[in-house]
């Protein structure tokens, strides 16, 4: 059972940093506590589970399974302590671009970072499930796939983690077997395609962000929203913005300008002063609980429509 530790001389909020990797209550691929995390993943050496603890100015981790060494080596990037840009003051905390809400949130949550899991399919498949449906539907589908096609993760059984379904399993499952989880043929076929080409998708972790985005978006059915959702979880892109999100423009518009009905164009305009760190700003806003009261129509839960 390999283990490692790292000195951390900058603020780190383990819970808020890793929370984007959790797909709703009941996600059994990861468990979080304020200063503890248990994370399961697949590596080129095999599956692994990593247990992470943050105490004072030190992070310690131990790993289990055939992929333990490789997963353990990811930890500094996973929790953002290997990322540049956090050790120096961010320009938007003061000066002409400063905004009181954003600056205050950064002061209140100095340890929030952008994770880099380097597990592309673990981010891509849930993002596909979230396309044009409610969060409830997407989480139900993801939890169902993990229960049905995943497997127990390495490590202590009392933690109760499961691995995400292996790509080869998802690729060979016929599209109609996805229907009981509320997944129609379009998304099922897209999942089967990316799972069948898993190596090509996993390889984008070695590409510049722009090239990784281009490779993802070259696939029909993967647009800017899905690509950004992958970038901000698997690739550690601090500037990724999920254009096309149902709620995000309203959150940014309300927090930055008191506007209730901002669209994507207005959201990008308001985020422009933070270019280079826009994903971090979005994450701070999401952690704040800010946002206008919901008065308009909501997405409705729907069934699978045809084949």
Confidence of residue 20 (pLDDT cuts 50, 70, 90): very high
Rounded mean pLDDT, 145-171: 96
Which contacts of 18-22 are long-range, i.e. CB under 8 A and separated by 24 or more positions?
18/78, 18/79, 18/115, 20/115, 20/232, 20/233, 20/283, 21/115, 21/117, 21/122, 21/123, 21/233
Confidence of residue 9 (pLDDT cuts 50, 70, 90): confident
Beta carbons within 8 Å of 6's beta carbon, 6+ residues apart: 58, 59, 75, 76, 81
Residues 96-107 have pLDDT tens digits of: 566 888 989 998
Confidence of residue 303 (pLDDT cuts 50, 70, 90): very low
Rounded mean pLDDT, 20-34: 95
Position 95 scores a pLDDT of: 60
Position 260 scores a pLDDT of: 86
Position 190 scores a pLDDT of: 98
Confidence of residue 307 (pLDDT cuts 50, 70, 90): very low
pLDDT at residue 85 is higher than 80: no
Position 283 scores a pLDDT of: 95
Does the reported pTM lie above 0.75? yes
Domains of the chain, earliest start first: 3-89 (3.30.310.20)
């Amino acid at each position: 059972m390999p283990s490692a530790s790292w000195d951390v001389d900058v603020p780190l909020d383990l819970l808020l940093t890793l929370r984007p990797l959790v797909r709703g209550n009941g996600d059994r691929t990861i468990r979080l506590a304020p200063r503890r995390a248990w994370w399961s993943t697949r590596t080129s050496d095999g599956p692994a589970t990593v247990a992470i603890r943050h105490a004072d100015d030190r992070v310690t981790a131990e790993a289990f399974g055939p992929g333990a060494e490789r997963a353990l080596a990811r930890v500094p990037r996973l929790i953002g302590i290997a990322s540049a840009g956090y050790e120096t003051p961010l320009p938007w905390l003061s000066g002409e671009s400063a905004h009181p809400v954003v600056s205050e949130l950064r002061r209140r949550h100095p340890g929030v970072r952008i994770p880099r899991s380097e597990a592309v399919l673990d981010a891509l498949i849930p993002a596909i499930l979230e396309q044009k449906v409610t969060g409830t539907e997407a989480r139900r589908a993801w939890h169902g796939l993990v229960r049905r096609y995943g497997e127990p993760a390495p490590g202590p059984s009392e933690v109760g983690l499961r691995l995400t379904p292996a790509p080869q399993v998802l690729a060979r499952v016929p599209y109609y077997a996805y229907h009981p989880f509320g997944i129609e043929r379009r998304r099922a076929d897209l999942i089967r395609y990316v799972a069948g080409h898993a190596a090509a998708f996993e390889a984008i972790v070695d590409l510049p962000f722009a090239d990784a985005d281009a490779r993802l978006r070259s696939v029909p059915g993967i647009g800017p929203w899905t690509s950004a959702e992958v970038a901000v979880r698997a690739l550690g892109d601090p500037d990724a913005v999920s254009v096309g999100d149902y709620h995000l423009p309203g959150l940014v518009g309300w927090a930055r300008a008191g506007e209730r009905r901002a669209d994507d164009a207005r959201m990008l305009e308001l985020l422009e002063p933070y270019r280079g760190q826009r994903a971090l700003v979005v994450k701070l806003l999401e952690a704040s609980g800010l946002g206008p009261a919901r008065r308009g129509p909501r997405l409705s839960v729907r069934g699978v429509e045809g084949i």
